[in-house]
Structure 1
């Protein structure tokens, strides 16, 4: 049964909710970037406790800093890696991890408080409430997963598990994608232009979804490269050392764990995926430039430009032995590319017109008294 048309008040509410979700997207993106810098600077194990409430306040006195530093000195990382670190040096790595955790808490507040207000004012469509509750649950799970990841580096070997690191990254990207998709659904709920059933229309949609999935896979393979420090070997391009295929490929035991536990294999896989992605985005851009509607072409042009920048950043990061600035830009730009491809996939999949504009999810609008105000 088709949903009723959006009235002016409901459209205004949709724009407000979309703006709120886009703020959340920006905060998730910032958290991802800060998390990458935290890992690159070796700061991720500087806070050895997880205190969701009291941990909001950093050390404010000399005694507080001494207590925090003493807890760190009891950790395996200090005993085995950073022994002799001064308090001033500890403060530098502490602030990166603190900022990363603080952003996570801010995201929670930015979600919970407006959500409660919008719900009380009946501004949220009933069909959208389950999706928002899912985002809230995933955000909470992300906090728990982050601490589980840190815990893996607070044992005998002071190094976080690449599996947990990549899982933490994957969940963050999922939260980002669902939030952005929901915001786009609210901002552009109407029919798309052009006939999706026309020749090439369905193919473009499938191709865009496939390239988006490939971008996500490439991004996650980068998580294993980061977790294994695989960017610090074979710092040549396009060859890996003297050959195209490294001699120590599939060096883990058993061999099928090599993509996740062997540095040479992780880097090789990331290179291959990145090159396939470069070709895929370029082909998709060419197809969209010839037959996609205007908004989709804009996303396609953006993705085409960004993917070539991403390739250049990746090669430069590798050749220069992973400088922090370039590596952080490479990770941030990966999210920009993912955003462009998600926007393109959304635009190509917008429903065709058969009537009035409806709320995302196909549910009835709510809050009619508020809508008329």
Structure 2
């Protein structure tokens, strides 16, 4: 058995490794959003897991990949007449997105093997890390499965596959951040445990807020996958009023929540208003009722992240999906999720002792 000091030392090393993975995945999610906003995702029409790490080198190689792109719907229906210089721009966004995915794989696999061979991974943790490894591999496969949906008949990817691809990436990110918090010594010191018994009810239901923000991000995936943000670039009204005409039109009506741009955007807005009340109320309760200075600060951070995200959401609409603003909106969603994860973990540590 390892001594407590020995295990704490290696837990810190593992935590820093997981934090590095989370930071790079955050960047990956942001780059994926920019790739989508610039309509670059279908520029690479082949999936070469090994050789695909090398970009085209030389004019002949670029002309070859451009000729392949010209055989598919996006070029034939949308980008016909695009020259090679324009193609290189969209190609590089998708290329960098795929290369970063491979880098993340190496960043996870190599240190994991190193720590495992040294025998410093605490009991019970290795199976969780292996699950994350498998899901990371599935994420790569899901990304190609998504791209394939835009290489057949229509020059756009399936909103269902895009949302699944985004959802798995965010779930992996959240799981890694949570495991980082479980391992980071300062987040689990004895002085934090059981310090706020009066906040136990908030601690018990606070994970639900994380789930709701995650579902909100999935809702945003549907908005991105259907370009629903362009349908009503106004706020607070959608067209003539707050409730737009044609809501949930079609048969069956429930399908409109996934395929009708008006309904998708309306639902995304309503979800935001619900989160404003629930997450904002949670942050305000921490500020006003917590006896712990750290948790009061966390409550302020939650409110600030929430207001920033709502401001970015409204700005995205009013700027008609301007790429920097829309990318900021996606980054803001992950930032809000991150702040909530840190806050919920800290609150639960200060109210009820939970297992790692």
TM-score of the aligned structures, taking structure 1 as reference length: 0.91
Match of 2:61 among 49, 55, 64: 64
Counterpart Cα distance in 1 of 2:231 and 2:160: 20
Q: Which has the higher contact order (CA 8 A, sep 6+)?
A: 1
What is residue 189 of structure 1 aligned with on the other side? 188
Partner secondary structure for residue 144 of structure 2 = helix
Asked if 2 retains the 8 angstrom alpha-carbon contact of 1:314 and 1:330, the reply is yes
Distance 1:67 1:11, change over 3 A: same
Q: Which residue of 1 aligns with 2:327?
A: 328
Contact 1:274/1:311 (8 A) holds in 2: yes
Q: Do structure 1's residue 308 and structure 2's residue 307 form an aligned pair?
A: yes
1:210 pairs, out of 208, 211, 221, with 208
Superposition RMSD in Å:
1.9
Q: Is the 8 A contact 1:104 1:143 kept in 2?
A: yes
Shift in alpha-carbon separation, 1:86–1:286, aligned structure 2, 3 A: same
User: Residues 57, 29 of structure 1: CA spacing in aligned structure 2 closer, same or farther, 3 A cutoff?
Assistant: same
* CA–CA distance in structure 2, aligned partners of residues 5 and 103 of structure 1: 36
Counterpart of 1:81?
Answer: 78
Say whether the 8 Å CA contact 1:194–1:293 is kept in structure 2.
no
User: Following TM superposition, by how much is the alpha carbon of 1:295 offset from its aligned partner in structure 2, in angstroms?
Assistant: 3.4
- Tell me the number of residue pairs that the alignment of Structure 1 and Structure 2 aligns: 353
Which 5+ residue runs of structure 1 have no aligned equivalent? 362-373
Q: Please state how far the C-alpha of 1:189 moved relative to its aligned partner.
A: 3.0
**2:127 alignment counterpart:** 130
- Structure 1 residue ranges (4+ consecutive) displaced by more than 6 angstroms after TM superposition: 351-354
Query: What is the CA–CA distance in structure 1 between the aligned matches of 2:335 and 2:234, rounded to whole Å?
Result: 26
Alpha-carbon distance in structure 1 between the residues aligned to 2:24 and 2:209: 25
Normalised by the length of structure 2, the TM-score is 0.95
Residue 110 of structure 2 is matched in structure 1 by 113
**Unaligned regions of 5+ residues in structure 2, if any?**
none
**Offset, 1:299:** 2.7
- Cα displacement (A) at 1:266: 0.5
> What is the CA deviation profile of residues 139-179 of structure 1, one whole-angstrom value per residue up to 9, with x for unaligned ones?
00000000000000000111100000000011001100110
Alpha carbons 1:196, 1:352 under 8 Å: kept = yes
How far apart are the structure 2 equivalents of 1:185 and 1:135?
15
Is residue 163–residue 224 contact of structure 1 (8 Å, CA) maintained in 2? yes
| C-alpha spacing 1:292/1:77, structure 2 compared with 1 (3 Å) | farther
Give the conservation status (yes or no) of the 8 Å contact 1:248–1:264: yes
- In 2, are the aligned partners of 1:300 and 1:341 still within 8 Å (CA)? no
